[in-house]
């Protein structure tokens, strides 16, 4: 797939799996909602007394991989995209607000839930590699 197709599929997809490395060096993989702005990927997290595991992981080791895919019984429709980059917790209030606005635009659930749009910290991954494959 060329980059324009990869970016379109990433923008349209509704869920991704993000992989980070835990304190033992094992992959921690979880499904998440997300939005991409240029070469930065954002995902919200729940509030709590400490950041969620994926955020704690990137604070210790910023390497992260994102997988977005679509399986179909008609194999000519099957595709996947893998993004690799450096993860971080968004610290800037302006960047966090922008990410939350983009998330609310993509997911109507955020638009009607003030708590969801202002809850826990936002994870960002600065994408360094875009790769994709499709059956057709």
- The pLDDT tens digits for 49-104 are 778 999 999 999 999 999 999 999 999 999 999 999 999 999 999 999 999 999 99
Residue 26 sits at the vertex; the CA angle it makes with 22 and 31, to the nearest 5 degrees, is 75
Write down all domains in the chain, each with its CATH number in brackets: 3-134 (2.30.110.10)
Please give the model's pTM, rounded to 2 decimal places. Answer: 0.91
**Does the pLDDT value for residue 118 go beyond 70?**
no
**Does the pLDDT value for residue 115 go beyond 80?**
no
């Amino acid at each position: 797939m060329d980059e324009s197709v990869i970016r379109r599929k990433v923008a349209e997809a509704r869920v991704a799996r993000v992989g980070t490395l835990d304190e033992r060096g094992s992959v921690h993989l979880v499904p998440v909602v997300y939005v991409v702005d240029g070469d930065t990927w954002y995902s919200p997290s729940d509030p709590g007394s400490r950041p969620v595991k994926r955020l704690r992981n990137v604070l210790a080791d910023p390497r992260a991989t994102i997988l977005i895919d679509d399986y179909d019984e008609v194999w000519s429709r099957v595709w996947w995209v893998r993004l690799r980059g450096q993860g971080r917790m968004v610290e800037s209030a302006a960047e966090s607000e922008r990410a939350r606005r983009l998330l609310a635009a993509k997911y109507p659930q955020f638009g009607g839930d003030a708590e969801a749009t202002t809850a826990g910290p936002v994870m960002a991954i600065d994408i360094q590699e875009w790769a994709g494959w499709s059956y057709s």
